[in-house]
Structure 1
Amino acid sequence: MTSPASDPTPRDVPEPPTKHQLALMIWLAVFPTLTVINLALGDWLRTLTPVVRTFVLATVAVPIVIYGLMPQLHRLRRRLLTRIANR
């Protein structure tokens, strides 16, 4: 059983991100990821056709963004909003 003091209140749990916030978070995750992948694999990617190159980039970038970066950005957003709300 949890104590009332440990139960999250509406003030402790921020709303889900708006479409605009989510778009910014996705951009913040995708742009650097694609940049790093292109820098790391650029010579090899250059030899591929555009469709295959896009497939390889998406196959590498999507899991990094979804499983690695987006959860971190959601945590950061929640921490920032909680800190602001508790001022």
Structure 2
Amino acid sequence: MKRDFELKKIKSILNNIIDNSSLKVGLNNVKIQSVWKKMMGSNINSYTSDISLKKRTLYVKLSSSVLREELSYGKGKIIKILNEEFGEVIIDKIVLR
């Protein structure tokens, strides 16, 4: 009896498991924090106290009202940069607190 099977890379198997489960939400929440730090730089990070992603909305808690106002003018650009870094659209809206 001959076995028919197809060899697959572990990466593709894990990606299928993640895409078809609720793990993706948690992984995106963890990844968004590192992507935010990388893309926004150390100055903005020093004023960022909390980042979370819920239902395609990114919530960012900032300790500086001046920075919050400055970033509010560039929300569209920030969304575009972060989505490009992810390689897919995961953010539709940003709420700065």
TM-score normalised according to structure 2 size: 0.41
Q: Which has the higher strand share?
A: 2
Higher Cα radius of gyration: 1
Choose between structure 1 and 2: higher helix proportion: 1
TM-score for both structures, normalised by structure 1:
0.44
